[in-house]
Structure 1
């Protein structure tokens, strides 16, 4: 699975950008496109329109990525484990994640018709809140970018990558 971070321009200079952790650690699996309201990336529009990629964003009509997940903490940080490994869903080829604050992400969605029209997946309702402590005014029940990637990778059997990213996230989250 390739992760495409659609990154808000303000996120590029934030020291608390957790998407950067995944980009730096997994350049073959994670890429970033800077979002622009007036100059949308044509390739991204095409892959979303053809449903080769799905947008990870909460919605009532979103496909639930996998509901057989439980969340817990370990020495490596946030860990999501499948409770029934036989129920693993088909892995999407590409997943687009809006790499921004929740307020900015909603604005990106509202101002981008191609994002509004994209097929969506969402994470199952979490039993535990985000562990991200470096930003104020977090959305209730919302996860940061790294936590979303960790959850997706665990759900689709990419446990080694998820564990590495969870460790990097835990280090960032306690360092600042």
Structure 2
């Protein structure tokens, strides 16, 4: 039987996150999420939370160069960067108004498992030609209900929240609160032993 969805957050009514949402954050830098198709129906995917909490966000689903042809053309006319920890990435280190702060109008964020993200990069070599930004220090991973493939992995929401904190001095707390609420809703109906396995790292 198809589950009834909340009209606002579009999560199943049983796991509605509306209680945990605040007013949308007014981010000046556009967040452009390139989402792998396998993530679209994942209940624990955090991009849906971002879409509810950020005023300037666009999500494009795809994998191949053809899928992203239009967005690639659009990016040619703006100052953009890819959030990716490459060797050439410029590290953001602290909320600041530094002179050396890179000018970014659009931040491209890849949404998928590390394996899927790697495939997207292989199929879209133009992404590697964009300027890259990364972080000097990572916040603690709070996304305990989905296995991290790397010790330094952050969910798409956490990575975006940290970027906006460093780049625009936007508090990450509303986004972290939404994430914590989703985790609470997703785990509250689990058997105690299963829930403990998910939350063991808290």
Report the TM-score, using the length of structure 2 for normalisation.
Answer: 0.69
Partner of 1:175: 185
The structure that is strand-richer by fraction is 1
Deviation (angstroms), 1:129? 3.5
> Which residue of 1 is the match for residue 81 of structure 2?
54
Specify the alignment match of 2:149 in structure 1.
138
Contiguous gaps of at least 5 residues in structure 1: 69-81
RMSD across aligned positions (CA): 2.1
**Match for residue 25 of structure 1 among 53, 58, 66:** 53
Distance 2:140 2:180 in 1: 15
Q: Deviations over 1:119-140 (max 9, x none)?
A: 21112232x5412111124311
Tell me the CA shift for residue 37 of structure 1: 1.3
The CA deviation at 1:169 is: 1.1
In structure 2, relative to structure 1, the CA distance for the partners of 1:107 and 1:121 (3 Å cut) is same
Tell me what 1:155 maps to: 166
Counterpart check, 1:67 vs 2:78: no
Question: Larger RCO: Structure 1 or Structure 2 (Cα < 8 Å, ≥ 6 residues apart)?
Answer: 1
**Counterpart among 108, 116, 125 of residue 128 in structure 2:** 116
**Structure 1 length normalisation: TM-score?**
0.79
Distance 2:126 2:102 in 1: 24
Q: Tell me how far apart the structure 2 counterparts of residues 50 and 62 of structure 1 sit (CA, whole Å).
A: 21
Of stretches 49-58 and 11-20 in structure 1, the one that deviates more from structure 2 is 49-58
Query: 2:71 — aligned with what?
Result: 44
Taking the TM superposition and a 5 Å limit, the aligned residue runs for 1:88-107 are 89-107=101-119
Q: Structure 2: any 5+ residue segments left out of the alignment?
A: 1-28, 187-202
Verify the 8 A CA contact 2:83 2:108 in the aligned structure 1: yes
Q: Are the structure 2 counterparts of residues 145 and 49 from structure 1 closer, same or farther at C-alpha, using a change threshold of 3 Å?
A: same
